Amino acid sequence: MPQDYEASLCQPTTLVPAPTPAPSNSSCSSNTEAQHLAVVGIMFVAQTLLGVGSVPIQPFGISYIDDFAHNSNSPLYLGILFAVTMMGPGMAYGLGGLMLRLYVDIDRMPEGGIRLTSKDPRWVGAWWLGFLISAAAVALAAIPYFFFPKEMPKEKHELRFRRRVLAASASTVSKGEDSPSEKSLGASQEKHDGLAQIAPDLTVIQFIKVFPRVLLRTLRHPIFLLVVLSQVCTSSMVAGMATFLPKFLERQFSVTASYANLLIGSLTIPSAIMGIVLGGVLVKRLHLGPMRCGILCLLGALSCLLLTLPLFFMGCPTHQIAGITPQPGDLPGPELFPACSEPCSCPLDDFNPVCDPRAHVEYLTPCQAGCTSQVAQEALDKSQVFYTNCSCVAGGGPVSAGSCDSACSHLVLPFMFLVSLGAALASLTHTPSFMLILRGVKKEDKTLAVGIQFMLLRVLAWMPSPVIHGSAIDTTCVHWAQSCGRRAVCRYYDHNLLRNRFVGLQFFFKTGSLACFALILAILRQQVKEEGTQVTVSTSGPQQQLLASGPGKKPEESSV
């Protein structure tokens, strides 16, 4: 509002009104803090309901598809499921970019609007509007789930294949008596199918008794454990990127929040979707077994890691901020005019940044720049505010309202191109790594294994990763705002330190994922060698037994 701009001007001490004591119902009162905690509690409940609601799609939907799809089609279907799942965040970033262009209080705007622009650090967009639109869409999308059957028939060509196998085995059995080996194979298959059928029919008490044993058996599976750890590293990287990449782009390249969200939604998310679909197609078309799936995951993780290295050098240091960052060289600034703002009685907690475009120096308020008047230039779509008669600025100004633009804003598109390409290569490993789990665990444990996997991803990646990234970003702050005598929001960051720590965390998690896939490949190679040795020993065993038993005797066990 106009009075807000006038309040931050340089005013002599004699003209400044005496400070009034804060009333009991101010923003620092305990009642207001209790209201804030209540709002946070509502957000926690909403996130819990979101987690419960996503279970029928992932993980149960993954096992549902793999159970009733043909084995060769399952990777493609899962790739499509993961890709469509990624479309949601992409559309949400685009929707968020549009919503953040609107001011947060769209229902309480004054006549003539406000003079804040979306590039102003004090701008808050209508973040709440996207939740209403998304919640309505989720409610509509949930309706078709009521009409899905409990069990679906297998795909037709799989049924025809099974009929041919059963017919061939029946004709073989009809030619002679069943051997003991065939009986044992049939018994084991019957037992396996019986376990698969009994598992869903367990009561809650029986499930609780069986769960620890199944959990230990699943966690002791080396391939399962390493795949989950690799996905924990990848999910930690994704969680940190999804949470803080818009903030990083805003600070590092001086772009608006809406533009940062649109960049992520239009570049990074579609690249990740293409990577997921391509991974599913490669597994299906090339008929990749566990060994080749491991090689594909290793190559994808290695390429993604290499693409992270240039990101360390794509940025520039923080521009000069009067009274906060040291002045490089002999640039004009407040040091040329000592004590220029002392007569102004500037409030310490005020924040209304202005920029001297000639010297590229930023001041926290027009008061700290010594400005005594302001001019508003009206344009067709927005109004620009300038401050004049500034005693701390060479030539007296004018200075423009808002922060100074970054000197490396032209690097935002190359930066996003490398991030998007890395996201595509990391997503390439998504479907092959899931196939390593689905083909590695027992059939009756499959649903539980995928559920355990998602639980571990939530607990080990999606919960701690944003906290780790946020703590690392907070350590790069050079100026904190104060609220109620406590540290509040960070106003300015050390851009070089911010870039190195944010990209460094990404590099760390990508290295962990690469190490896990390397161990998976080593274990798979060892298993292949052991299986080859067992087959060689088993094939030579029955021949030696036939020679030793003589022509009139039959071996008791003659099948591998």
Taking only the tens place, the pLDDT of each residue in 240-280 is 998 899 999 988 998 888 888 888 888 998 898 889 889 88
Letter string b/e over residues 105-122, b meaning 16 or more CB atoms within 10 A of that residue's CB: eeeeeeeeeebbeebbee
Q: Name the token pair of 495.
A: 């851009």
Instruction: Give the integer Cα–Cα distance in Å for 511 and 304.
Output: 10
Residues 358 and 237 in one domain: no
Element (H, E) at 270: helix 269-285
Residues 124 and 242 in one domain: yes
Three-state SS string over 185-245 comes to: HHHHHHHHHHHHHHHHHCCHHHHHHHHHHHHHHHHCCHHHHHHHHHHHHHHHHHHHHHHHH
Residues 436 and 482 in one domain: yes
Whether a cis peptide bond, with omega within 30° of 0, leads into 75 is: no
Residues 294 and 368 in one domain: no
Amino acid 416: pLDDT: 94
Instruction: Give the integer Cα–Cα distance in Å for 365 and 479.
Output: 14
Q: Is residue 155 part of a domain?
A: no
Amino acid 308: pLDDT: 94
Residues 373 and 493 in one domain: no
Q: Is residue 153 part of a domain?
A: no
Longest dimension (CA), the chain: 122
Using one digit for the tens of pLDDT, what is the confidence trace for 176-209?
444 444 444 444 444 444 344 444 556 677 777 7
Task: Indicate the pLDDT class of residue 313, thresholds 50, 70 and 90.
Answer: very high
Instruction: Work out the percent of the chain whose per-residue pLDDT is above 70.
Output: 76
Contact 517, 325 (CB under 8 A): no
Using one digit for the tens of pLDDT, what is the confidence trace for 484-499?
777 888 888 999 999 9
Contact 257, 100 (CB under 8 A): yes
Instruction: Give the integer Cα–Cα distance in Å for 252 and 502.
Output: 11
Amino acid 498: pLDDT: 94
Choice between 137 and 22, residue whose per-residue pLDDT is larger = 137
Give every CB contact of residue 159 below 8 A, 6+ residues apart in sequence: 153
Of 521, 507, 504, 514, nearest to 302 (Cα)?
514
Residues 301 and 241 in one domain: yes
Amino acid 430: pLDDT: 87
Residue range 166-175: mean pLDDT, rounded:
54
Of 249, 262, 283, nearest to 435 (Cα)?
283
Residues 303 and 382 in one domain: no
Residue range 51-75: mean pLDDT, rounded:
75
Residues 216 and 289 in one domain: yes
Q: Is residue 198 part of a domain?
A: no
DSSP conformational letter for 287: T
Q: Is residue 10 part of a domain?
A: no
> Can you give the C-alpha Rg of the chain in angstroms?
32
Q: Is residue 147 part of a domain?
A: no
* Residue-number span of the structural domain to which 89 is assigned: 57-141+205-316+425-524
| Sign of the dihedral through C-alpha 396, 400, 405, 407 | negative
Residues 348 and 310 in one domain: no
Residues 507 and 359 in one domain: no
Residue 115 has pLDDT above 60, yes or no: yes
Amino acid 302: pLDDT: 95
* Number of domains present in the structure of the chain: 2
Say if residue 449 is exposed, middle or buried (CB neighbours under 10 Å; 0-12, 13-18, 19+): buried
Residues 460 and 362 in one domain: no
Comparing 44-48, 196-200, 401-405, which segment has the lowest mean pLDDT? 196-200
Task: Indicate the pLDDT class of residue 537, thresholds 50, 70 and 90.
Answer: low
Give every CB contact of residue 363 below 8 A, 6+ residues apart in sequence: 321, 322, 353, 354, 355, 356, 369, 392, 399
Comparing 21-30, 238-247, 294-303, 407-416, which segment has the lowest mean pLDDT? 21-30
Q: Is residue 533 part of a domain?
A: no
Residues 437 and 504 in one domain: yes
Q: Is residue 163 part of a domain?
A: no
Could you give phi then psi for residue 404, rounded to 5 degrees? -75, 145
Strongest mean pLDDT among 12-26, 470-484, 532-546: 470-484
Amino acid 332: pLDDT: 45
